[in-house]
Structure 1
Amino acid sequence: MANILFYIALFLIWIMLLYHMFLMQGGYLHFKTFERVIPEWEKKMVDLPTVSVFIPAHNEEVVIGQTLQAMSRLHYPKEKLEVIVINDNSSDRTGEIARQFSERYSFIRVLETEPPNKGKGKSSALNEALRKSSSEVIVVYDADNTPEKMSVWYLVMGLVNDPKAAAVVGKFRVINAAKTWLTRFINIETICFQWMAQGGRFKWFKVATIPGTNFAIRRSIVEELGGWDVKALAEDTELTIRVYNKGYHIRFFPKAITWEQEPETLKVWWKQRTRWARGNQYVVLKFLGQFFKLKRKSIIFDLFYFFFTYFLFFFGVILSNTLFIINLFYDLNLSIGNVALALWILAFLLFLAEVMITLSIEKAEMNRTNFFYVILMYFTYSQMWIVLVVYSLFLEMKRVLFKQEVKWYKTERFEQKDKGEKK
């Protein structure tokens, strides 16, 4: 019986590893070709839509000034652009700093949330701004983001040239990547398992997931969907599924780039990633209950991917680790010890190859320091995710069983030196 369980665990793990290798190949191909359409697309950037940039902000005085400085440099006709800082029940100088920018720039304004949306989290803040704005396109950025000058232009370019797209999403990079050992791990994770996996899914399946930041979506579609789900901790993933289920699609266009701050301490990382994991688990459980009612095959496939990632894959890892530990103290008569060892070594080499190939597409990321961190990442950061997902699932099950209210965790920010304008 132990051998059968071990084989099941290995099967689940290797299915995910090979699938991610497949995505990395697609992401690399997308990276090599996605810019070819730009010269032709530029020709249609004449009669541009009006744009509202939403920036939900709760106690963001540490970063909001740098973010709004980046917004002031955006390349987009100012008569068709408005930047809305949604000051959500802040107790610090967030509102004061934002108002200083609104006095200097006519296209920046501050919106104070009101009951029942006041202090309820990101989704509620976005819904408040949705009701109090009227632009044709909505762009969302987190309060710690410094988008590159052309980012909004490229997001809108994708919508103008793809009338069937409900949304266009860009990529994000880590602005504080070299700050701590943790931010170095997150930087590698972001390049490999965020935008390269996103690129692979778009290349092979024409499927992309709306991220929490750096995306543009048509107002008409957000209104048709009834806005953002206030119960979802991962409001971006939840919105993605509803967009696809309505028959629309989402385009991934990594030419639109934003730089964001990542957690610099383990405590902040743990709270943020727990929210992410719980949010995605909520989405999976919510829509699996409606599985046979979903209309779009593409999103059913994507939903299964999230189910595999947050449930089956981690179950396989935990099962194999548990059997291995038990076997150290009690003989389970495992007959595949050498096979398991060989597969583990191959899995490690596959992980190493995937990550280093992916890092090669970003300037200055393919270096000896990152090679060392990739090796260390496999044995530390990747294992931390396993514990975190189990913990998140426990919290989410407890919330459902005891009908607890969803509580939004606002990621703590860190002082960041302004490195100047990104390209």
Structure 2
Amino acid sequence: MLRFVRHLNESIILFLGIIYAYQAVYTLIGLWLRRRKEIRPRARLHKYAAVVSARNEENVIGDLIASLKAQRYPSELLDIYIVADNCTDRTAEIAEAAGAIVYRRSSRTEVGKGYALDWFFARLCRERRDYDGYFVFDADNLVDPNFVAEMNRTFDSGKYDALTSYRNSKNFGSCWISAGYSIWFLREARFLNAVRCALGLNCAISGTGFLVSDRLIRENRGWPFHLLTEDIQFSADCAVRGRRIGYCGRAMVYDEQPITLRQSWDQRLRWSKGFYQVDGRYSWALLRGILYGGRRGFSCYDMLMTIAPAMLLNVGLVLFNGVIVAAAFSLPHFLTRWVIREVVHTVVFLLVNFYLGMLLCGGLTVLSEWKAIEAKPVQKIVYLFTFPFFMLTYVPISLAALVRRVEWKPIRHNAVKKA
């Protein structure tokens, strides 16, 4: 039994290491990649719609619209739409005064961003308005003045059905929670999406600051992605169907991160539940997609690993060892002590390696993106060491998401300016 416990623990740890080893390769490639000046061909100017689903966002909607109005791109080629979704405040009025086209939507049953986008595209189709693509933003965003021009340049290559961008934060320095989010999204940009794009693999949409072609919207007959994480659902669907998602690192959007543990818990509980939903719906299709081989097959594998409940596997390993300890009390005393010592060693090994792994991950991200992070140097350093604790809070969140019924809840945003 003792040998079995040790071998099982070692086998599970080794298995997790093997299936995620490719991300270590991504990191090495990400360190090698550099933002360099390049000669880029002149791009044809496309017509776009910027779409924002907003629920009670009167504090921030005006700033977002102002940043979209300030784009270094012909204003006649960029229309701004606000879907005032179940609003009970002045979001619609402020958006109209700021120059946006406002659609008011009310539904008590179909709640959430996915439903709001689907409703919007259905209405736009009826109105027969023609666009080449649609930008999707969250109401709390601020958009860099060159965002649309840079996305247009990449989109005009014709290689992609959708594009994601460089997601930065307005409030990295607010607290350890907002910094934790910020580091994770910066890592996603530098060490995941930038590398995927360089290797010709599919990228993943992450909530906001992305572009979807009109061709793909028409093919999908709108936005039929209504799970709690509709962005990941869209990304998984594209991987399965061979639709290309690219990345434009020159296009930057600033996002406001939660600053309280309660807000963060609610948001990440929804994300975790949404990942389980996507995992349940797309895992088998992604497994089949791996058989395509080549870049498409590896894109399916990458997406499968993205939605896989890796945190639960680690938690399950800890719980398994807890059961072993409980069973060990029926053994002779000297064997009980040996089992407890073996289990404590395994749990400590997991915790220490998790902390060190996240510290390394965060450290490489902060150092690589040092200039892009708008915070004081001391904040960048201090919050680097709290980043592993932020990630560790996913443990209870992942467990709660297994058993709790989760519904979409709005996150209250404030008029936070960039640091």
1:126-158 CA-partner distances (Å, limit 9, x unpaired): 122223143111110011100100111111211
Give 1:377 shift.
Answer: 2.9
- The answer for the alignment partner of 2:85 in structure 1 is 88
- The answer for the alignment partner of 2:60 in structure 1 is 63
Change (3 A) 1:189 1:248: closer
Which residues in structure 2 correspond to 1:141-160 (within 5 Å)?
141-160=137-156
Which residues in structure 2 correspond to 1:209-220 (within 5 Å)?
209-220=204-215
Kindly indicate whether the alpha-carbon contact (under 8 Å) linking 2:165 and 2:189 is maintained by their aligned counterparts in 1.
Answer: no
Q: Measure the CA separation in 2 of the matches of 1:193 and 1:320.
A: 27
Give 1:277 shift.
Answer: 1.4
Alignment TM-score, normalising by the size of structure 1: 0.83
Task: Give 3-state SS (helix, strand or coil) of 1:90's partner.
Answer: coil
Any gaps of 5 or more consecutive residues in structure 1?
103-107, 400-405
Task: Give 3-state SS (helix, strand or coil) of 2:223's partner.
Answer: coil
| The one of 359, 380, 384 aligned to 1:374 | 384
Change (3 A) 1:188 1:292: closer
- The answer for the alignment partner of 2:366 in structure 1 is 359
Which residues in structure 2 correspond to 1:130-141 (within 5 Å)?
130-131=121-122, 132=124, 133-141=129-137
Given the alignment of the two structures, is residue 76 of structure 1 paired with residue 73 of structure 2, yes or no? yes
Give 1:307 shift.
Answer: 4.4
Q: Measure the CA separation in 2 of the matches of 1:340 and 1:11.
A: 15
Kindly indicate whether the alpha-carbon contact (under 8 Å) linking 2:115 and 2:226 is maintained by their aligned counterparts in 1.
Answer: no
Kindly indicate whether the alpha-carbon contact (under 8 Å) linking 1:13 and 1:313 is maintained by their aligned counterparts in 2.
Answer: no
Change (3 A) 1:56 1:2: same
- The answer for the alignment partner of 1:315 in structure 2 is 313
Alignment TM-score, normalising by the size of structure 2: 0.84
Change (3 A) 1:418 1:292: closer
Any gaps of 5 or more consecutive residues in structure 2?
330-335
Q: Measure the CA separation in 2 of the matches of 1:61 and 1:118.
A: 23
Give 1:229 shift.
Answer: 2.7
Change (3 A) 1:18 1:321: farther
1:244-284 CA-partner distances (Å, limit 9, x unpaired): 33332111111110101111111111111111111121111
- The answer for the alignment partner of 2:45 in structure 1 is 48
Task: Give 3-state SS (helix, strand or coil) of 1:227's partner.
Answer: coil
Task: Give 3-state SS (helix, strand or coil) of 1:112's partner.
Answer: strand
- The answer for the alignment partner of 1:201 in structure 2 is 196
Change (3 A) 1:24 1:201: same
Change (3 A) 1:236 1:23: same
Moved more, 285-294 or 93-102: 285-294
| The one of 1, 5, 17 aligned to 1:2 | 5
Number of residue-to-residue matches in the alignment: 394
Given the alignment of the two structures, is residue 97 of structure 1 paired with residue 107 of structure 2, yes or no? no
Q: Measure the CA separation in 2 of the matches of 1:323 and 1:293.
A: 33
- The answer for the alignment partner of 1:412 in structure 2 is 412
Give 1:7 shift.
Answer: 1.5
Change (3 A) 1:12 1:271: farther
Q: Measure the CA separation in 2 of the matches of 1:186 and 1:348.
A: 16
Given the alignment of the two structures, is residue 387 of structure 1 paired with residue 396 of structure 2, yes or no? yes
Kindly indicate whether the alpha-carbon contact (under 8 Å) linking 1:147 and 1:257 is maintained by their aligned counterparts in 2.
Answer: yes
**Could you tell me which amino acid in structure 1 is paired with residue 300 of structure 2?**
I
Note the aligned Cα RMSD (angstroms). Answer: 3.0
Task: Give 3-state SS (helix, strand or coil) of 1:178's partner.
Answer: helix
Higher normalized contact order (CA 8 Å, seq sep 6+, divided by chain length) = 1
Change (3 A) 1:339 1:383: closer
Task: Give 3-state SS (helix, strand or coil) of 2:89's partner.
Answer: coil
- The answer for the alignment partner of 2:276 in structure 1 is 281
Which residues in structure 2 correspond to 1:125-274 (within 5 Å)?
125-131=116-122, 132=124, 133-161=129-157, 163-193=158-188, 195-204=190-199, 206-274=201-269
Q: Measure the CA separation in 2 of the matches of 1:214 and 1:301.
A: 24
Q: Measure the CA separation in 1 of the matches of 2:411 and 2:102.
A: 21
Give 1:5 shift.
Answer: 3.1
Kindly indicate whether the alpha-carbon contact (under 8 Å) linking 2:311 and 2:398 is maintained by their aligned counterparts in 1.
Answer: no
Give 1:335 shift.
Answer: 4.9
Given the alignment of the two structures, is residue 111 of structure 1 paired with residue 89 of structure 2, yes or no? no
Task: Give 3-state SS (helix, strand or coil) of 1:85's partner.
Answer: strand
Q: Measure the CA separation in 1 of the matches of 2:75 and 2:188.
A: 35
- The answer for the alignment partner of 1:124 in structure 2 is 115
Moved more, 227-236 or 248-257: 227-236
Q: Measure the CA separation in 2 of the matches of 1:217 and 1:381.
A: 32
- Equivalent pairs: percent with the same residue? 20
Give 1:193 shift.
Answer: 4.3
1:363-402 CA-partner distances (Å, limit 9, x unpaired): 3559454333333332x2222111111211223xxx6xxx
Q: Measure the CA separation in 2 of the matches of 1:324 and 1:140.
A: 45
Q: Measure the CA separation in 2 of the matches of 1:178 and 1:320.
A: 34
